[in-house]
Amino acid sequence: MNKDFLCLTDWKREELEAIFELARDLKAKQKCGEEHHLLKGKTLGMIFEKSSTRTRVSFEVGMFQLGGHALFLSSGNTQMGRGEPIKDTARCMARYVDGVMIRTFSQEAVEEFAACCEVPVVNGLTDLYHPCQVMADLFTVSEHRVDWRELSYCWIGDGNNMAHSWINAAAVFGFELRVATPQGYQPDAGVRARAEERGARILYTDDPREAARGAQVLNTDVWASMGQEAEQKEREKAFQGYQINSDLLKIAAADSLVMHCLPAHRGEEITDEVIEGPQSIIFDEAENRLHVQKAILATLMK
């Protein structure tokens, strides 16, 4: 088993499915009020270089429910934010805490931190990957569809860190994935190549309707992610038509499910009607960040 949780493709399918099973058990215990202090007395250091709602709350609450403690560290208030080498911070953190979660820009920085840190490191989000989110997404689908591995999934929107994480998931779990992005906003070529080497069944297109036709799970994200706010107007033009709405759902499978990692720009990449509609599992998905991340932490740190 890998020491760290940095990228989905670092892990074997059976290891990830074991995390799902543990998440199912921990969620059941939490719902019935049963204590599950698997990390009693342990501390998670949380380093944030990007703002957060769901990531911070879910990891902090998750550590509390596991009997441990989470320590919030903003990069602006740490020496790393003032230029301390990553390897120095990583070595010191390993002397204080039992695990580290990092939410930042550079995947390379997270990988360097993990290489120099003797305790487990979890990728809470980088510009390249968001593995905890896609694990929560798939766990949520598994709660709604027993045959979740056999479904047809589609991604509509930007070729961003979430698109990359879905590509990695398709490579690991083997389900069919269709990715619809505008020209100029396609997923990273290296991510695509590595998935192809593993035999992933992925269709890349610039036609959202081609991706959505008959799809059983539809997923999207904001058109401009954190750090891309200056491109908002330009992206609004490029992404016209890349919206999950009632018209698009008509050509998807009749019982299709809709997901969004949040925060959502209602009326842009997804309509209010769809978010609040009967096919949306968006808030189940948000809740499951808590349960799946608890399972990841318990797997790495116990």
Q: Which residues carry a binding-site annotation?
A: 52-55, 79, 103, 130-133, 161, 221, 225-226, 261-262, 289
Q: How far is CA 3 from CA 16, 90, 205, in A?
A: 13, 15, 36
Give me the catalytic one of 261, 279, 291, 293.
261
Can you tell me the distance from the alpha carbon of 214 to that of 218, in angstroms, rounded to the nearest whole number?
10
Q: Considering the candidates 4, 103, 127, 235, report the single residue annotated as catalytic.
A: 103
Residue 145 known to be catalytic: no
Q: Closest Cα to residue 241, out of 215, 272, 212, 263?
A: 212
Is 228 annotated as catalytic? no
Q: Name the active-site residue from 65, 107, 127, 133.
A: 133
The residue count of the chain comes to 302
Annotated catalytic, 133?
yes
Question: 98, 127, 137, 221: which one is catalytic?
Answer: 221
30 is catalytic: no
Which residues define the annotated binding site for carbamoyl phosphate?
Answer: 52-55, 79, 103, 130-133, 261-262, 289
Which residue among 130, 164, 192, 235 is the active-site one?
A: 130
Annotated binding site for L-ornithine: 161, 221, 225-226
Active site residue 13: no
Residue 48: beta bridge partners?
A: 74, 103
221 included as an active-site residue? yes
Helix (H, G, I), strand (E, B) or coil at 151: coil
| Active-site option among 164, 235, 260, 289 | 289
Query: Sheet harboring 69-74: ordered strands across?
Result: 69-74, 43-48, 99-103, 121-125
Q: Is 79 left (phi over 0), alpha (psi -120 to 50) or beta?
A: alpha
Chain CA centroid to CA 11, Å: 15
Give the up-direction half-sphere exposure of residue 10: CA atoms within 13 A in the CB hemisphere: 13
Assess contact for 188 and 225: CB atoms under 8 A: no
Which residues are catalytic, by number? 103, 130, 133, 221, 261, 289
